[in-house]
Amino acid sequence: MKADTQSVLEEVTTYVNNHRKQSTCTEEKTARDGEQVSYSSSKPYLHPIPPLSSDTIIIPHASSFKPPPLFNQFSPVPNKLNPFIVVVDRLCGEAVLRGADVFVRGVWSASAGIARDSRVLLLMDLHRDSQRGCLYADYQGEAICIGQGVALVPRTELVTATHGLGIRVTHRMGPQAPPLNGFLPGRLFPQNLPSLLVGHVLAPLPGSTVIDLCACPGGKATHLATLMRGEGVVVACDRSRKKIKALQTLGETMGLLPSLCPLVLDTTHPVLPPSLRHRRHLPSSHPVAVLATAPKNTDGLPLVPGFYPETFDHVLLDPPCSALGLRPRFSLPVRGQDLDAFVAFQRKFWWAAVFLLRVGGSMTYSTCTLNPQENEEMVRYALDTYSVLQLVPAEPRLGAPGGGKALSDEERGKVQLFLPKGGGREGRREEGKEGDLDVSGFFVAKFVKVASVFEGKEGEAKGTAWQDERNDGDSGWKTGGPQGEEEEG
């Protein structure tokens, strides 16, 4: 959140109350028709634990939607309470259950006769067996009900428009949460609590130099920039130009440019080649100087091939992962070999993170998965591979200790593991204890760099790989990195 905390809290509270009043009006009408629904009166509040209390507003969800007597979740049919049916795709359905309204791009099928203000039963398609845009009478797929809503546009727009809201969701098959899309732009950024914790764990001071190696869509990078109060620089990297342009727009909206610097860069190879390594101590090698002297493309983005080693105060590594901790999820198309591929890909970023981090600097590693290979076992890999790294407590502490056998008891106590309520993995605490939060699955660990990679056995091993003739010259940064990491990919 980039604004006065108290004023934003007041606006959020008003918005949430108004949203619940609207739902209550619908509730009173449907209750007369036989439905039973209720809402919690809990209000938004500032997170009680410093430093989160300075910028974190918790919006509690209300109670779940209780379906009416005529309702069958797995064989939904139109009825007197909801004469029309709209089917949405899986991604849209999952977003609805997280609190979103329905955008027209997510509509898969719809009943004939839907007009503005029609009440509709919302279904989520599971397998995409039918054609998008078909009449519900012709829908042949498998779907389950996820809630109810009111159409904001007629049927023709629901199935043909390419952008805009289509349905205001009034009840959800799950905890009720207000939609936050477009609410207080530039002043409020919705995030899951564990994701927001990452910035406070890294804890960059104003004036720091930070690189986020896998920044998009940008929630963590923008949070880091706000924590630094616009002083210093957060280099937010992604190899996709389209994603970086979207992040640039977000940074403009939040008023974070130029301290937030979106950059198109393949961060499996972001370190400049060995022929330039001797310049890493010169003022011109500082990341701010590198960015200031770089040419820019037509979008105003700097064209930077890489950075000098050991020049960043902080590194954030939140790599692509199997995302097994996200919820709600209705499809998990991840196989065993896919998990192995994620692990191999994630390891490609570690050498870059270690080389870019200055001695005495800190880095944070995080994932939104429950897979131990990508969490505790990845921490073990990092400690065994890079002796210059030291595991330190990830604080402030909201999650539970890590699980599994890859780490010692002491090491497990330094990392944080978040499990959804009802999760069964080792490391779960008793009800009401540390780590007992109704959140998505998440993992976070923090490291400090205690020595240079150019000293001792670390320097010998990586330095030798860097001297490979294939990696020298102008194109060296594109194919550089330890040979072992290249082979594992």
Residue 187 lies in a domain: no
Catalytic site includes residue 261:
no
What secondary structure does DSSP assign to 365-428, as a single string? EEES---GGGTHHHHHHHHHH-TTEEEE--SS--SBPP-SSSS-HHHHTTSEEE--TT--STTP
Domain that holds residue 21: 1-65
Cα–Cα distance measured from residue 441 to residue 418, given in angstroms and rounded to the nearest whole number: 5
Among 29, 48, 65, identify where a domain stops.
65
DSSP per-residue string spanning 311-368: -EEEEEE------TT-SS-S-----HHHHHHHHHHHHHHHHHHHHHEEEEEEEEEEES
The answer to whether residues 145 and 76 touch, using CB atoms and an 8 Å cutoff, is: yes
Would you state the torsion angle of the CA atoms of residues 340, 345, 351, 353, taken in this order, to the nearest 10 degrees? -120
287 vs 231: CA distance, rounded Å = 14
Whether 155 is in a domain gets the answer: no
Distances (CA, A) of 137 to 77, 112, 144: 11, 8, 16
In this structure, is residue 273 part of a structural domain? yes
Give, as one character, the DSSP assignment of residue 222: H
Rounded-to-integer distance, Cα 486 and Cα 489, Å = 6
**pLDDT value, residue 35:** 47
User: What single letter denotes the amino acid at residue 198?
Assistant: V
438 marked as part of a ligand binding site: no
Question: Is 318 a known ligand-binding residue?
Answer: yes
Whole-structure pTM value: 0.84
- When divided into structural domains, the chain yields a total of 2
Structure tokens that stand for 39 in this block: 């809402």
Please, where are the H alpha helices in 76-154?
90-97
Contact 224/194 with Cβ under 8 angstroms? no
238 labelled ligand-binding: yes
> Are residues 465 and 256 in contact, defined by beta-carbon separation less than 8 angstroms?
no
Residue written as tokens 């207080």?
184
Q: What is the CATH number of the domain that holds 428?
A: 3.40.50.150
Domain boundary among 65, 83, 111: 65
pLDDT value for 177 = 76
> Does a structural domain hold residue 91?
no
> Along the 489 residues of the chain, how does pLDDT read in single tens digits?
556 788 999 999 998 888 777 665 554 454 444 444 444 457 888 888 889 888 998 887 765 555 544 445 555 666 666 689 999 999 999 999 888 999 999 999 999 999 999 999 999 998 887 788 999 999 988 888 898 999 999 999 999 999 999 999 988 887 777 888 788 888 888 888 999 999 999 999 999 999 999 999 999 999 999 999 999 999 999 999 999 999 999 999 999 999 999 999 999 999 998 888 778 788 889 999 999 999 999 889 999 999 999 999 999 999 999 999 988 888 777 777 888 999 999 999 999 999 999 999 999 999 999 999 999 999 999 999 999 999 999 999 999 999 999 999 999 999 999 998 744 444 344 344 444 567 889 999 999 999 999 885 544 445 444 333 233 333 333 333 333 333 332
